[in-house]
Chain A
Amino acid sequence: MNAQAGGAKKGMIVSPIENGTVIDHLPPGKAVRIAQMLGLTEGAVVIIGQNLKSTKYGRKDLIKVENRFLTDEECSRIALFAPNATVNIIRNSELVEKRKVTIPDVVEGIAVCSNANCITNKEPVPTRMVTVSRSPVTIACHYCGYEVKAEDLRFRG
C-alpha cells in the first residue's frame, strides 16, 4: 500500500504524517470529542479535519495523530461514536494497515454512568457498560440499567 489514508492526496487539505494513525470516516462534528476521549489532545501532534468531503458519506471528520498507535480497546471505543470509522496505521509515510472498528459488547472501567444515583458514582465500584443496541448505539450500566446513547457516554478524567 502506498497512498496515505484520509483524502490527503487530492487538494491536500490535511497534511500527511510520517508515522502515526489516521482515524477516518468519522461523522461530522465528532472528531474533537473522539480526540479528547482517546487523550490525543495531551502532547501529541494532532491534526483534526472537520466537515471534509467524503465520497462515501458526503461529509466526514478525520483525525491524524503522529507517533501514536491505537490499541484494539481504543479502536472499540471509537466505534461507540463512529461505527463506520476506519483506523489507518502509517509508517514511513506508507499506509501499512487499515482496520475497521467494531462496537464492543462491554466497556469496563473507563466510562462514567450518567445516573448520579448509581452505586458506581457513590462508592469505589469499577464501571461496566454493556451495549444493548447497535443502531443507534445504546449503552446500559450493568449495575443500574441506566441507558444512554453512545454519543452521550462520558469517560473518566
Chain B
Amino acid sequence: MGFMNRDIVSIRDFSREDLDSIFGVARRMEKEGYDRGLLKGKRISLLFYEPSTRTRLSFQAAAQSLGADTVWFAGVEGTSVMKGETLKDTIETVANYADAIVIRHPYDGAARWAADITSRRAARGEKKVPVINGGDGRNEHPTQTMLDLYTIAQSQGRIDGLTIAMVGDLKYGRTVHSLAYALGLYSCRIRLVAPEQLQMPHHIISYLASRGVECTLHTSIEEVIGEADILYMTRIQRERFPDENEYNKVRGVYRVTRKTLQPAKPTMRVMHPLPRVDEISVDVDDDSRSYYFKQAGNGVPIRAALLAMVLGGIS
C-alpha cells in the first residue's frame, strides 16, 4: 500500500514491509540530511488537546526540517473546544487550513474519527487531508511505536530474536499497546511486567498468542532483567486512572536503579517513551545501557520520514 495521503492511525494498519520502508527513509535522512525543499509550501496542523513535549516538538522539528509550515494549538485553552465545539467541527475547519493534521486527543478512537471525517470531505470532492495519530486516549500511539522499533533495531542491530520486557502501566499505556501489536509482526519474546491490575489487556495478549509470540506475565523486574535485550519502562499514568486511590496503590511500584541493572547483559538497553517520574533513577542516565534520550531523538527522523512519505511522495 502506498503512503501518499495515507492516514497514520493504528500501528495495526501497517505491515512489516511498510515499517521497513519508513525505517529506510528515516535512516537515509539521518545519513544524508533533510531536504528543506521537499515540503516547501505545505502546511501541517498540530492539534494537541493533551500535554506533550516530545511528540509535538519532534513533529514540528520534522516539518520544519523538510520546509513545511506548522499551525498548531497545545492545550484547548484559548480554542473553541472550550466553547463546546465538537471534534468533527474542529477537523472540518482545520482541514481547510492544512495539508496534514497531527492530532493528540484524550479520547480513544479520536484519531480514527478525525481520519473518517477528512475521508468524507474527500468523498465530497475536497482534497484528502491525511490524519496522523499523536496518541488517542489509552488506545494507541503509532508514531511512538515506529520510533521505538527503529530505536530497538538501531541499538541491537535487529528486532527478530530479541527478548523485550515491558514494565509498568501496561493496562492504560497506549505506547505499550501499540508496541505489543507491532512486535506481533516479529519473532521475538515478550515479557510483561506489571501489577496484576495494570497488566496488558487480554485482547492484546490473545493477539500476540495468535501471532505465535512467546509472551509471559510477571510482577517483578528481577524475574526478567537477566534475559532482557530491551527493558521498556513506562510511567504509571496518574491521569489515566479513573480513581485516585487505585493510582496510589501502584505508584512507585517499579524503580530502575544502577543496582537493578547489575544482572542485566552489557548489551541490554533501557528505553522509555518519557516523561519519567521516578521509575528510572537519574543515576541510570550515565549508564551505557540507558537509551531513552537517544530514543526520544529518533522522533525527528521517523516523523520526518512519515511526513515525507505521506505528503511528499517519498518511498
- On A, residues with C-beta under 8 Å from B are 113, 115, 117-120, 122-125, 141-147
Contacts and interface: CB of A to CB of B under 8 A. Distances in A.
B251 interface: no
B72 interface: no
B108 A117 contact: yes
Interface stretch (B61-69, B109-117, B122-130, B163-171): B109-117
B10 A119 contact: no
Q: Which of A118, A120, A146 has the most CB of B within 10 A?
A: A118
Nearest to B110: A119
B169 to A, nearest CB: 15
11 contacts: A117-B106, A118-B108, A119-B105, A119-B110, A123-B86, A123-B87, A123-B88, A123-B107, A123-B113, A145-B109, A147-B203
Contact of A144 (B87, B106, B109): B109
Interface string B2-35: 0000000010100000000000000000000000
Interface of B: 10, 12, 86-88, 105-110, 112-113, 136-140, 203
B108 A143 contact: yes
A118 B138 CA distance: 9
Contacts of B107: 117-119, 122-123
B86 A119 contact: no
Given A115-B108, A118-B107, A119-B108, A144 B88 contact: no
Q: Which of A118, A120, A142, A145 has the most CB of B within 10 A?
A: A145
Give the secondary structure class of A's interface: loop
Nearest to B140: A145
Contact of B113 (A115, A125, A145): A125
Contacts of A143: 108-110, 112-113
Given A143-B112, A144-B108, A146-B108, A119 B87 contact: yes
A117 B138 contact: yes
A140 to B, nearest CB: 8
A121 to B, nearest CB: 8
Closest 7 pairs between A and B when the two form their complex, measured CB to CB: A143-B109, A144-B109, A144-B108, A119-B109, A119-B107, A143-B112, A147-B203
Given A123-B86, A124-B86, A125-B113, A144 B203 contact: no
A124 B113 CA distance: 11
Contacts of B113: 119, 123, 125, 143
A94 to B, nearest CB: 46
Nearest to B107: A119
A124 B117 CA distance: 13
Contacts of A113: 109
A123 B2 CA distance: 32
A118 B112 CA distance: 11
Given A119-B109, A142-B109, 19 more contacts: A113-B109, A115-B109, A117-B107, A117-B108, A119-B87, A119-B108, A119-B110, A119-B112, A119-B113, A122-B107, A123-B107, A124-B88, A125-B113, A142-B112, A143-B108, A143-B109, A143-B112, A144-B137, A145-B140
Contacts of B106: 117
Contacts of B105: 119
A118 to B, nearest CB: 5
A113 B112 CA distance: 14
B263 to A, nearest CB: 37
B198 to A, nearest CB: 16
Nearest to B203: A147
B201 to A, nearest CB: 9
Q: Which of B87, B106, B112, B136 has the most CB of A within 10 A?
A: B112
Nearest to A121: B107
Nearest to A143: B109
Contact of B139 (A122, A124, A145): A145
B109 A120 contact: yes
B70 to A, nearest CB: 24
A115 B108 CA distance: 8
